[in-house]
Structure 1
């Protein structure tokens, strides 16, 4: 029963496990999934680190419109990979949906910093080097755009 709750209602499962721990009732603990969770780490941290990379590459597409196709292709691939990771976590952990807006807000400054840093490695003869001020100070993308498999900045 507990295993199925872990799969179907993560928040409820987590609450049940918290109560069982607090009340020192080891027979009510889902040891296998608790161990997996502890080994995996906090899914919110994992989502946020994927958001940093995803948003950084969305920003590069948004700002560096004149980048060569081979560069953009690399960004598209990274966007797809990190979007997929976030969407998988979102489907596995129901709390991720509630966490995403604040995670985007938290991840954006690091994503902006990463996009700016990576843009400095660009060859100025092939790609116009951008000023930091060209990267928006707040996220220009909506949550639905960030998670939409078919959306990329034009």
Structure 2
């Protein structure tokens, strides 16, 4: 049996579910299954942190005129979530999943940035149109998302 745990987590998990359903105990990857049950699905945590990171980067990119008292909290959140994500992706599985996770969460991060931008309207922040928020991750961002000190400038 080829173990896909390290290369394709989703395929591995589906195979484990199928083996358990068939009661095919020889096909069950006990070692990794125990590990997976103990830590849960780390991809969910990664995606959650990516949503916050990307949403705040989008806000910096679009809401250039936001006052310092607003942007300071965004910078702090960006730094915190970068550190969390770097810690999470030290595991080889998650580092390979990182680009896919970014693609998966981008629409949700954009939606969050738009929602928070609407809430800030009238608080010394210019109202922004939804069309001003990029519909996909801007070019070059993927490689820079986790770089300390990198913040987008439009």
Length-normalised TM-score, structure 2: 0.76
Query: What's the CA shift string for 1:111-140, capped at 9, x where partnerless?
Result: 000000001111425110111000011111
TM-score normalized with structure 1 length: 0.76
Q: Distance in 1 between matches of 2:106 and 2:116?
A: 15
Tell me the equivalent position of 1:11.
6
The count of residues paired between Structure 1 and Structure 2 equals 135
- Secondary structure of 2:75's counterpart equals helix
Q: 1:130 aligns with which of 102, 120, 128?
A: 128
In 1, Cα distance between equivalents of 2:76 and 2:34 = 32
For the pair 1:96 / 2:91, whether they are aligned, the reply is no
- Separation in 1, partners of 2:124, 2:54: 23
Segments of 5+ residues of structure 1 without an aligned counterpart are: 1-9
Farther off after superposition, 34-43 or 140-149 = 34-43
Q: What corresponds to 1:53 in structure 2?
A: 52
1:145 has 2:144 as partner:
yes
Cα distance change, pair 125–11 in 1 and its aligned pair in 2 (3 A): closer
